[in-house]
Structure 1
C-alpha cells in the first residue's frame, strides 16, 4: 500500500496602349504583325499569378512567466516532474489552494464554442492519449475527503486516483477519466484528482481504497492493470474558479468539470489571446494580471475550444458556464 505522504493535497493584367496606325499600307501591316506577336501566349512578361498557400498551426500566444507554489497542506516530493511547455519556474506567488467552502455562482455566462477536427484524434494530448491501452500497476491510498494535488477540493465521489508524476505531466492529467481493468476481469472508472510521486513509476495508478476494492481485496496491495482514457457521458458542464488572492493585478484560473483533459487556458487581452502557464497544482496563472476578469478560452486535447464571457473576478466562487466539450 502506497504511503499517503506520496501524494500532494494555440494578376495584374498587363494593358498595352493601343496606338492609332496611320500611314502607308506596308507600315500598317508591320505594326499589326508586331502587335500580334506581342500578345501571343508567353509574349507577356510576368504572365500568371503565384498562389498563396495557408499554413496550418497553433496560434502564437504570449505565455507569461509564472510561479509554481505548492497548495497549502500538500506534502513535498523528491520526484521532479518532467519538463512541460506549459509550466515555468519562477518566484513564489500568493498562496493558498481552494477552500472546501467554495460556492456556486448562480449567474451563467454566455459561451461560444468552435471545434477543430484532426486525423490524429487528439492533437494536443500529452503522454496520455485516447485510444491507447497502458500497462502498469495499481496501489491504493486513503483519499480522505477526495481533495488532492489537482486542487479540485473535497468530493463525495471517491472513485478517484493519483497519477504517477511522469504521466501527471505538471497537472495535464488532472480531471481525466480513466477506465482501469485488472487481470481478473474486474474494472472501475476513476477520475484523476491527485499526483503520486516516486516511488510511483510511469504507468502506475494509486487508487483510492474505495476504487481499489472494486478490482481486488485491499490485502493484495499491488496488482497488474491495464488502463485507458475515457470521454464519458455527462450532464455536467464546465465551471470556472479564480484562486484565492486573485485580483486585476494577479490571478490564478481553474477549469472544473471538463469531460476531456484540458490542454490550454487563454485570456483575452488588448492584443489578442494570451496562453497562461499551468502549475503543478492545476491553476493557470497570470502573473501581471493580464486578462484577469475578462473573457476566457479553454481548449481540450482534441482541439475543441470554448470561449466563455461573463465570469466575475470573485476568488473561490465556482461559476458555471453552461457549456461542455464534445464526447469522443
Structure 2
C-alpha cells in the first residue's frame, strides 16, 4: 500500500449543498422555517409522553425516545449548514469533522435500532398479546435502550477508527455540506479499497439487514391481523402503517447513500439533505398525527397550561 507525502490534516473545506446563490437562499428559508416549526413539535412529543402517566406503555416509551433521538440528530448538520450559507469559505476542523461524523452515525443507527425495537413491541402486542405484559416489562424496555446506545456507540466508533489511520496529502475539500465517511475517505492518499469495503459493510449491510428484517416483521404482523376484530384490527393496522412509512423515510435515503461503492451521483446531496435534516424531524410528527392517544394528551396538556 503506497503512501505519498502524507501530512497532518488540520481542517476540511466543505463545498456546500450548491454554488447557486438563489438555490442557497431558497434552501436556507425552507430549512429554517421547517426547523423552527417542526423541531419544537418533537420536544412537545417528548414532554407530552413524559408528563402523562396514561402514556406509560412501551409503545409511547419508544416513541418518546424516537422524538428525542430525531431532535438530537437534527442538531448535528442543520445549524452549521444554515450558518455556512453565509460563509464564503466553509471550514471545519479535522476534530470537528470526526466529531460530527461520530454523532451522525451514533444517533442515526440508534434511530434504526429503535425502529427495530418498536417493531418487536408491535409483534409481541399483536401476535403474542397474552404474553405482552410479562415480556415488555419496564426493565426490558430500559435494557433494550441500553443495548441501543451500546450498539450505536460501537458502530460510530468503528466509523471514526477506520478514518483515523488514513494519511492525507492532497486536497482537503469535501464535496458535501457535512462530514461523512465516503467523502473523507476519498481524500486519502493511499489505497482505500479495504477501508471502503469495511465502511460499506459496517453501514450498508447493517442498514439493509435491519430494513429487510423490519419489512418481514411487519408482513408477519399484518398477516396475523387478518383474524382480528374490525375495531382492534383497524387500530393495529393504522399503527403498523405509520411505522412502515417511517421505516421507508429512514431507510430509503440511508440505503441509497451507504449500500453502494463510493461513487458520486447527482442526487447525492439532495438525498443527504432529506436524510439528515428533513426526515428525522418529520418521523415523530407523522406518528403523532396518526395516534389519537398522543394527540388527546397534547390537547389536555395545552388546555391545562392555557387555563392557568
Q: Shared topology, TM-score over 0.5?
A: no
User: Which has more strand, going by share of residues?
Assistant: 1
User: If you compute each CA radius of gyration, which structure gives the higher value, 1 or 2?
Assistant: 1
User: Which has more helix, going by share of residues?
Assistant: 2
Question: What is the TM-score with the length of structure 1 in the denominator?
Answer: 0.23
Structure with greater contact order relative to length (CA < 8 Å, sep ≥ 6): 2
Question: What is the TM-score with the length of structure 2 in the denominator?
Answer: 0.24
